Amino acid sequence: MSEGTVSLFVQGGLASVVFDRPQARNAMTWAMYGQLGQICDTLQADASVRVVTFRGAGGEAFVAGTDIEQFKAFGSSRDSGEDGVAYERQIDQCIQKLESLPMPSVAVVEGWAIGGGLAIATACDFRIATPASRFGVPIAKTLGNCLSVANLARLSAVWGMPRVKRMLLLAEIISADEALACGFLLQLSEAGEVDADLARLCERLGALAPVTQSVTREGLRRITAQGLPADEDLVRRCYGSADFREGVDAFVAKRSPAWKGA
């Protein structure tokens, strides 16, 4: 299966970032995370860009998490806990680059925004979605891994603690209607109206004071990130567990995992 690409297009002060791996619902590969980080570095240095949008190719998903095939190497390693620590650190660095962009960001969600995809969408300033879109982090049902404390803080700041517990402890998938009602989504757009609604939002954002927008974004990011506790012991325990290896094996084999709590 293709490793996929993350592409950047810039025109007239508007940057568009596209996650392009539709045959796998745009599930992120290591290469795609690397490309996203590089794109954020490019945008950080481009003063001509006033607004950046993030969107998945194919219309069925924004990003459906990280490609689980890549976790197979974790399960075969004695140091799989350390593999997990390195992975979560890489994800945090990538998401922090996105959060730290100087210009407003908009995620366009058509379909699934799951796991790492939900983290990417949450790191954006605004989100537009179609009514059929779905949001969640069902790892308690699938892989048996965990999120970093930084990503838990990001999700809690936008979704609220009760919904984050539902998504993570109950593996619930949240509907677009609920995401709109709780403020996670700025608006819902019918599939045929997404482009027009997005253009209007970008025009509004691009007409406002860029320095105000930039310092406000950074100030809010600092509030969320301030005083985050250490979490490597938690990540190490989860990724080093037999349950995580079972979750990966079960997912790849398309069977239900047998959790043992170890």
The string of pLDDT tens digits covering residues 112-169 is 999 999 999 999 999 999 999 999 999 999 999 999 999 999 999 999 999 999 999 9
pLDDT at 77 over 90: no
Q: List pLDDT tens digits, range 186-199.
A: 999 999 999 999 99
The domain segmentation of the chain, as residue ranges, is 5-191
Q: List pLDDT tens digits, range 81-118.
A: 999 999 999 999 999 999 999 999 999 999 999 999 99
Q: Judging by beta carbons within 10 Å of its beta carbon (0-12, 13-18, 19+), is residue 163 exposed, middle or buried? A: buried
Q: Which two tokens stand for residue 104?
A: 């407003």
Phi then psi for 44, rounded to 5 degrees?
A: -60, -30
Question: Phi-psi bin for 58: left (phi > 0), alpha (psi -120 to 50), beta?
Answer: left
Domain 5-191: which topology? 2-enoyl-CoA Hydratase; Chain A, domain 1 (3.90.226)
